[in-house]
Amino acid sequence: MQKNLVIVESPAKAKTIEKFLGEDYKVLSSYGHIRDLKERGLSVDVKNDFKPDYVVSSGKQEVVKALKKAAKEAEMVWLASDEDREGEAIAWHLYTVLGLNENDSKRIVFHEITKNAILNAIKTPRHIDLNLVQAQQARRIVDRIVGFELSPILWRKIMPSLSAGRVQSVAVRLIVEREREINAFEAEAFFRVQALFLLPDEKTIVKSELNKRFKTKEEAEAFLKSLMDATFSVEDINTRPGKKSPAPPFTTSTLQQEAARKIGFSVSQTMSIAQKLYEAGLITYMRTDSLNLSTLVIDAAKQEIESEFGSNYLKIRQYHTKTKGAQEAHEAIRPTYISSRKVKATAAEQKLYELIWKRTVASQMADAELERTTVTIKISNNSSEKFLTNGEVIKFDGFLRVYKEDDDDENQDESVESLLPPMQLDDSLNLSEATANERLTQRPPRYTEASLVRKLEELGIGRPSTYAPTISTIQQRGYVIKGNKDGDAREFTTLVLKNKKLTSQTKTETVGADKNKLIPTDSGIVVNDFLITNFPHVLEYNFTADLEKEFDKVADGEMKWTDTLHKFYDLFHPIVEKVSSARTDHKVGERFLGEDPKTGKPVSVKIGRFGPYAQIGSADDKEKPQFASLTKGQSIESISLEEALHLFGLPRTLGEWEGKEIIAAVGRFGPYLKYDSKFTPIPKSYDPYHITLEEAGLLIKEKKNRDANKVIKSFTEDAGLQILNGRFGPYISYNRTNYKVPKDLIPAELSYDEVVKIIRSASEKPAKQKTRKVSGNSKK
């Protein structure tokens, strides 16, 4: 009989902890939450003070059975789930479902998985914090109410299978609003003037920029012409000291942002890798908004910095968390052992670990000392405009020796040079070349996953444990995609003054291109507009942030969890009833573009079951309306009448090929070619509106060859029986069911009777019981 049973969330965590405890301890995993609200229905008794109806989660029955057996055999059960609200809720559900009491169970928490931390936690157990449990419970019930009451309205008013979430809907709103800002943005052209000056040594060139920008080509041209007769000299040299301070150690959101910028990880990828590092005992708990570092860690960092770089690189700092929230761990994300600069792990884990190590150590290092210099160059015939040359020199690298923080600025200042050559006041300079480049004012940038996390944090929406799930959910639901925008080609003018000769060149560049940015889909835009129109208060940024603050108050014991729910429900539910009973004259999200010039019928675009589409005519017409799917890159928000009418150019007859007609069309599953009553899909590299007869013939020929090689053998005894070549090798196809061909047989040599025997043998085998795979690091 085992004296002690320790229960954690994941097998990986259990394996690490087991190393630190003796034979008297058995460590098992709950595989995340073991209990949740029933999947069907609201599962919350609103009239009975929001009493939740919990059941053991699907696929967890065997886990619970094993834990109950182990708990009965143990003298003491240690509930060691994570120390945030989710972890506290897991501990409480275990306590309840396993039938534990305060005499035979204890709650322990730790923010790093090291021997000292585990043993110290066992020495200092505590009771389950019901305030944290109730804060988690309040959040879970609010989210269930929102999803349960809003989703059916979206199904009826827009289309089936849509769903809405409290925080997710606000995140979608941010992305939709940014997209509209971009679409409404009107770029203004301006001319930026730069010059190359030759110093008195007649060897050294220095780059400079004019302190004014011109709105028109004529203005820029006139200025460059004025330089032909001007002389240039150094009017002022301003040198001033500066410094840069290190960023604080990582919180959840800053780790997600920096990992995206420096390593290219998605938010969910960062959290998955961080979870593995934590469970392996390599870093502290990864869901936190604390900036605090323990005294032990600061002392370890001090030793590391002094031995590696010298005492002049050391500056002890204590950072304080600005955001309030009782649910999070009490220390920043850091390595468990500062002395371990590298760890044995996968390449991705090593990259993230090194990032965390560098950020932690750098936070305790001295400021970088800089010298910033600005040289002002006078134009003899122009008293108002000056050329400016900026330089920045690092006099002492300090924390930059280890780490430099990145940012999201897409328009870095190119006018700062690192080291300026020696110059003296009144030095005469010769103009080597001056250029005026036509530029455009920059539109607002689309959100990346990292910048969206930062925005949510700024607004006080969500908490460290919710950022990654929120961003994953809005993409999984099809409201947002992480994609690329090709941008548009545009011509711009460059004016060049060289050897007192002014020339003008027209060049081409691509503007507005984006990569791996969050872009709203038509579904996301329509759902967002519907929710904002009908539930404006619920989707207010302040409302969502204030609700988070109320959850914090519940966690602090300052507010009853049921009071939070009553306050929310009394506002939310009446709006749901009002919107649900309201009738609309047209489909939500429908946009009328005008009339078809041929028929005079209305042309509209809307969202359907299979995506956005255009329609000519209406349901009231005697003739059935015509439908055409929007193509990739088109949106119901921006498509024009002409573009919509162009979609009805299909089906399109291309001509005859080998005596039969080829037709290009678009169907439910995308564009295709119809030839000889057979169908060939059109790849993405071709456009059904412009594909030629020759290209179509080639595609049909290629498909014929593939199909010919697909059939290994057919049988005259039964036309529905075939042996085919598949993606994973040869297989038998019969009555829409596939059967494996045993590896020791040659498919082409099988007889009809042998194939029938294989099918019968496979049919007589008992079906394998499906088991649900559960992830050790998942939390609902």
Contacts of residue 123, Cβ cutoff 8 Å, sequence gap at least 6: none
The radius of gyration of the chain from alpha carbons, rounded to an integer in Å, stands at 34
Q: Give the integer Cα–Cα distance in Å for 94 and 79.
A: 8
Per annotation, catalytic residue among 25, 31, 95, 285? 285
Cβ burial of 445 (10 Å; 0-12, 13-18, 19+) is middle
- Residue 635 to residues 523, 588, 593, Cα–Cα distance (Å): 10, 15, 13
Concerning whether 447 is annotated as a catalytic residue, the answer is no
Q: Give the integer Cα–Cα distance in Å for 328 and 220.
A: 56
267 token code pair: 């938010």
Q: Give the integer Cα–Cα distance in Å for 303 and 292.
A: 19
Q: Give the integer Cα–Cα distance in Å for 418 and 394.
A: 9
Q: With residue 86 as reference, give the H or E element that holds it.
A: helix 85-97
Q: Give the integer Cα–Cα distance in Å for 76 and 23.
A: 14
326 token code pair: 């009782």
Task: Catalogue the E-assigned strands of 201-297.
Answer: 205-214, 232-244
Contacts of residue 22, Cβ cutoff 8 Å, sequence gap at least 6: none
Task: Count other Cβ atoms within 10 Å, centred on residue 578.
Answer: 10
Strand order through the sheet with 670-675: 652-657, 660-667, 670-675, 678-681
Residue 457 contacts residue 252 (beta carbons within 8 Å): no
Task: Count other Cβ atoms within 10 Å, centred on residue 59.
Answer: 12
Q: Which of 572, 408, 610, 481 is nearest to 176 (CA)?
A: 481
User: For the CA atoms of 347, 348, 354, 355, what is the dihedral angle to 10 degrees?
Assistant: 150
Contacts of residue 340, Cβ cutoff 8 Å, sequence gap at least 6: 282, 357
Residue 333 contacts residue 251 (beta carbons within 8 Å): yes
User: For the CA atoms of 238, 241, 244, 245, what is the dihedral angle to 10 degrees?
Assistant: -150
DSSP per-residue string spanning 625-679: PEEEEPPTT--TTT--HHHHHHGGG-SEEEEEETTEEEEEEEETTEEEEEETTEE
Q: Evaluate the omega torsion of the peptide bond into residue 612 and state whether it is cis, within 30 degrees of 0.
A: no
449 token code pair: 């996953």
Residue 243 contacts residue 367 (beta carbons within 8 Å): yes
726 token code pair: 């598949």
* DSSP helix, strand, coil percent of the chain (3-state; round to 5): 35, 25, 35
Per-residue H/E/C for 664-682 = EEEECCEEEEEECCEEEEC
Q: Give the integer Cα–Cα distance in Å for 315 and 395.
A: 17
Angle (deg, nearest 10), helices 541-555 and 449-459 = 70
Task: Count other Cβ atoms within 10 Å, centred on residue 389.
Answer: 23
Coil, strand, or helix at residue 776?
Answer: coil
List, by residue number, the catalytic residues.
285
